[in-house]
Chain A
Amino acid sequence: MYGGGNIFDEIKPDDVAGEDSIKLAEFEARIDRGEKIEPTDWMPKLYRKQLIRMIEQHAHSEIIGALPEGTWITRAPGFKRKMALMAKVQDEVGHGQLLYSAAETLGKSREQMIDDLINGKSKYSNVFNYPTFTWADCCFISWLVDAGAIVNQLANAKGSYGPYCRALERICAEESFHLKYGHHCVIYLASGTQKQRDMFQEAIYRWWPPMMHFFGPSDKISVHTEILMKWKVKMDTNDNMRNQFLDMYVPKIWELGFTIPDPKLKKNTATGRWEYTEPDWDEFKRVINGGGPCNKERLEVRRIAEERGRWVREALRAPKTEYITPLA
């Protein structure tokens, strides 16, 4: 996981005004040719800024995303699930590490990024501001939130910034295992006892609205990001990615006999697009801005972990003190 629904600032026309027009044209020509931009290459300030923002959000989403699933490691039912979930969540933390490194190539240190996460300046995927009440919630994340992230990440892996694309290729390979694991867990719930089926059905009711939010605000209301798409920072529109997800997974959920809490949800066979009740974007904004059920808890955990670990990081920086035998 867990990129998706990145929040971009509105871009003003003069954001690229100060750039050297020849260099900018060369830069854009390279991107058009499908070349990758590397850390030491020339790039517009706006490109650097937006990439840092996007990769950083993605990295934060990985480490915050480890929390709602991580809390089920100690409760996972049986050896098989326990070991798989541990490995999965560890992968997510590893993705965070990989992505912080990719963002660092653009000039912002990991420490600064983590500080900005804790002080609320940078965001992470909204979906992790919701609680996992049951094992089925955890299975929903492993299967469907990961599935959504894969849609997003496969698109982004074709972007223009070399280090991010390479990180995403590695991440996507691991994600495909997560998806299989999540799907396997859900199959067992779906084909299990009534209690198990009910658990997953309730998880769908709880998680469907945040899942629809996952890909970010509708194209009708989201900020203009044409230049980011031209520079291959953003690879597709939010609605296109949401549509792709629905196309791949709604039939699978229905096939298992579960109900999705949206009476309008259906595929328009003429347009090939999915129709659905417009998600509540006010709720989305409220949660992004700190008003979700778990925002405080997630950041508090991160803050405490950072604070409790400070002495360790300081000790790593300190040179070893050698023991010297007293002369007398």
Chain B
Amino acid sequence: MNHEAIKELLYKMADDQLILGHRNSEWTGFGPLLEEDIAFSSMAQDKIGHSLALYTILHELGEQDPDTIAFTRNADQFHNTVFTELPNAEYDFSLIRHFLYDTSEALRFEILSQSSFEPLAQLAIKVRGELRYHTMHANTWIKQLGSATEESISKLQKSLEYALPYALGLFEPSLYESKLINEKVFEGEKALEEKWKKKVEEVIAQTQLQLPNWKTLTPHYGGRIGKHSEHLQPLLDEMSEVLRIDPTAEW
């Protein structure tokens, strides 16, 4: 089994989870209502927990320990999509990102529950159960706010149009696509993207929101190969702020 290919897959998934988990956690204390504050905090905990589980598999494959991997790399060593590192902005963008991202994440883990790479398949079986609640949460809110007031519909529509090219960046093909597919580790980004588009269409069709023609959108690639926006490095600096006070210390 090709470990380089598997590591690349694990890194991008783990980094996505960590960075978006970090962003979700920034809603703590600031949600539009207490229930949403609590929900985003729950999802943040799940995402950070998933990233830890993925970094742990990487550690078993010979990479450094999870704390070192997560807290000491620079932005250009991260493989998350630019989509996950964008600031939370207003709730409409955070909600749209949650919907688009978690839909893809749920499908990705569903696919990976069949992976020939046993540790990942085991993890995926566990994680997909949690993700059902994330997508249920996202879909409920998208359906409600996407069909409620003129203001809520127009805010969501604007955020949806802004977010979609970034969301397509989730499916940036890796150098190892064919290896992963041939070794039955993962069906590949293309297959995932098609499933994701169908799911997104299905939910959006139940709202007053309009999806643009997919063909008119240019995916925002680059994150998977370390090309990030100006937002990632400050996020990482903040994340490692305490650890850097004394890197030899145990906290």
A residues neighboring B (CB under 8 Å)? 63, 66-67, 70, 72-79, 81-83, 86-87, 89-90, 93-94, 96-97, 100, 135, 185, 188-189, 192-193, 195-196, 199, 301, 304-305, 308-316, 318-323
Contacts and interface: CB of A to CB of B under 8 A. Distances in A.
Contacts of B208: 321, 323
A91 B245 CA distance: 28
Interface string B225-249: 0000000000100110111011011
A308 B90 CA distance: 8
Interface in B29-60: 29-38, 41-42, 44-45, 48-49, 52
B26 interface: yes
28 contacts: A70-B28, A70-B29, A73-B26, A74-B26, A74-B239, A75-B242, A77-B242, A77-B251, A78-B251, A79-B52, A79-B67, A81-B251, A86-B41, A86-B44, A89-B28, A90-B45, A97-B38, A135-B242, A192-B246, A193-B246, A305-B32, A308-B90, A309-B36, A311-B152, A312-B152, A315-B149, A315-B151, A320-B143
A217 B155 CA distance: 48
Contacts, number: 146
A318 B148 contact: yes
Contacts of B246: 192-193, 195-196
A82 B143 CA distance: 32
A82 B41 CA distance: 12
| Secondary structure call for the B interface | helix
B71 interface: yes
A320 B29 contact: no
Given A318-B148, A320-B147, A321-B148, A312 B251 contact: no
Contact of A83 (B45, B235, B242): B45
A309 B48 contact: no
Contacts of B45: 83, 86-87, 90
Nearest to A323: B208
A152 to B, nearest CB: 22
A186 to B, nearest CB: 11
Contacts of A135: 242, 245, 251
B25 interface: yes
Contacts of A315: 144-145, 148-149, 151-152
Nearest to B22: A74
B250 interface: yes
B70 interface: yes
Given A305-B30, A309-B91, A78 B67 contact: yes
A72 B31 CA distance: 17
A320 B142 CA distance: 11
Given A78-B67, A192-B246, A192-B251, 7 more contacts: A79-B48, A81-B251, A93-B37, A305-B29, A311-B32, A311-B155, A322-B147
Contacts of B31: 305, 309
B105 to A, nearest CB: 18
A206 to B, nearest CB: 17
